[in-house]
Amino acid sequence: MGGYDEQTDLIKNFVEVSSKAKGLLEQNKVSEAKQVYLELLEVYNEINNSSLMKYHKEIAHQELTNLHSAISNAKEPFKLPHIPLNVAIAAILIIVFGVFVIMNPKIAGLASLSDTLTLQMNKTIKESGIIEVTLLEKPLSLSATGKVTGKAKLYLKQGENLRLIFDSEKNKNKEGTFIDVCEDTCSINANSNAIELFAALEKGSELFLESLQYKVKRKKNSPPVWTGKTKEFTLTEGQGELNLDNYFSDPDGDKLVYLATLDEGIDIVVNGNILTAKAKPGSGKKSITLIASDLEDVVKVPVTINVK
């Protein structure tokens, strides 16, 4: 029971600290929120090294993007104080357990990491029939977005079985629009990326199928790579900028996010892909570490800045 209690306390602690950070962000107390954000790192490291179930970490990964977006959209650029390098590297890997991880039993059934794709259909259907669709990959779920006039149902046809995607009689929107609806297809097991839909319409009804949304199994990620030709830079007159997109790339084409550690006597601010450095002219060589992440993997590159 001791291990279970420790895990429960660990999650509760993480939730409390992350909730505090979010609360400060909502109050536009950006600087304070970022300090609490850093406190979260230590708790995350404990979680990462604990025996918590895999699904906890998968759910947490989903939350990573949301938290990073909140930090990115804050009015002040995110600036790391001078902290131990191992903590700085973990900054980009912060994972937040919302209270729902503990409270909502539905979350516990979440499967492996997945990506959601969208196929634009823009198809108007005026009579019942089969619609053949080719997706990029085998779907793990299937939902639909569109608009209906009259009465209509949309099914996923798997052999002789029909699984309901949308039913106009269950649609509460009086204008007939529906968004990302999946009645019986929120989780499916498809044998192919080629699927069949069956539309059942009453006479005089019309179904506009705008798009299909579907989840696919996430492929193995390729981490960012350093593409710079040098790791030594010169800061003329004590200030300068670097476009980090010119020094890192991602084999999968993922958008990268950046951070950097500090060194005594040099002020480093990373805003998006632009690193701004300021220091007292003639203060000599400074050592910092550039950090790039695609929100799954992290690459750290030590560099030297010569301040002239």
Sign of the Cα pseudo-torsion (293, 294, 295, 299, in order): negative
Residue where a domain terminates, one of 111, 145, 179? 111
- The arrangement of strands across the sheet holding 114-125 comes to 114-125, 206-217, 143-149, 177-181
Range of the domain at 207: 114-217
pLDDT tens track for 66-80: 555 565 566 554 443
Question: Distance (Å, rounded) from C-alpha 169 to C-alpha 167?
Answer: 5
CATH number of the domain within which 265 lies? 2.60.40.10
Identify whether residues 12 and 104 lie together within a single domain: yes
Q: Within a 10 A sphere around the Cβ of 247, how many other Cβ atoms?
A: 21
Identify whether residues 64 and 23 lie together within a single domain: yes
Question: Distance (Å, rounded) from C-alpha 45 to C-alpha 50?
Answer: 9
At residue 63's C-alpha, the angle toward residues 118 and 58, to 5°, is 85
Across the range 13-19, mean pLDDT stands at 74
Across the range 100-105, mean pLDDT stands at 29
Does the pLDDT of residue 64 top 90, yes or no? no
Q: Within a 10 A sphere around the Cβ of 95, how many other Cβ atoms?
A: 21
Identify whether residues 50 and 2 lie together within a single domain: yes
Helix (H, G, I), strand (E, B) or coil at 296: coil
Does the pLDDT of residue 123 top 90, yes or no? yes
Residue where a domain terminates, one of 191, 217, 243? 217
pTM higher than 0.75 for the full model? Answer: no
CATH number of the domain within which 131 lies? 2.60.120
Does the pLDDT of residue 96 top 50, yes or no? no
pLDDT tens track for 261-306: 888 888 888 888 899 988 888 888 999 989 888 777 788 899 999 9
Identify the residue with better confidence: 1 or 25: 25
Residue where a domain terminates, one of 217, 247, 268? 217
Identify the residue with better confidence: 101 or 127: 127
Identify whether residues 22 and 48 lie together within a single domain: yes
Question: Distance (Å, rounded) from C-alpha 39 to C-alpha 43?
Answer: 7
In this structure, are residues 148 and 210 in contact, taking their beta carbons and an 8 Å threshold?
no
Provide the b/e sequence for 104-137 (b: ≥16 CB within 10 Å).
eeebeeeeebbeeeeeebeeebbeeeeeebebee
When divided into structural domains, the chain yields a total of 3
Does the pLDDT of residue 178 top 60, yes or no? yes
In this structure, are residues 213 and 156 in contact, taking their beta carbons and an 8 Å threshold?
no
pLDDT of residue 26: 79
Structure tokens at 111: 């499967």
Across the range 232-236, mean pLDDT stands at 88
pLDDT class for 187, splitting at 50, 70, 90?
Answer: very high
pLDDT of residue 103: 30
Identify residue 59 by its one-letter amino acid code. I
Does the pLDDT of residue 33 top 80, yes or no? no
Identify whether residues 1 and 107 lie together within a single domain: yes
Closest CA to 122 of 204, 48, 212: 212
Identify whether residues 260 and 225 lie together within a single domain: yes
Identify whether residues 212 and 254 lie together within a single domain: no
Does the pLDDT of residue 185 top 80, yes or no? yes
Identify whether residues 226 and 163 lie together within a single domain: no
Sign of the Cα pseudo-torsion (79, 82, 83, 88, in order): positive
Q: At what angle do helices 54-72 and 30-48 cross, to 10 degrees?
A: 160
At residue 14's C-alpha, the angle toward residues 40 and 9, to 5°, is 135
Identify whether residues 175 and 153 lie together within a single domain: yes
In this structure, are residues 98 and 15 in contact, taking their beta carbons and an 8 Å threshold?
yes
Identify whether residues 122 and 178 lie together within a single domain: yes
Question: Distance (Å, rounded) from C-alpha 274 to C-alpha 287?
Answer: 18
Identify whether residues 1 and 100 lie together within a single domain: yes
Identify whether residues 81 and 49 lie together within a single domain: yes
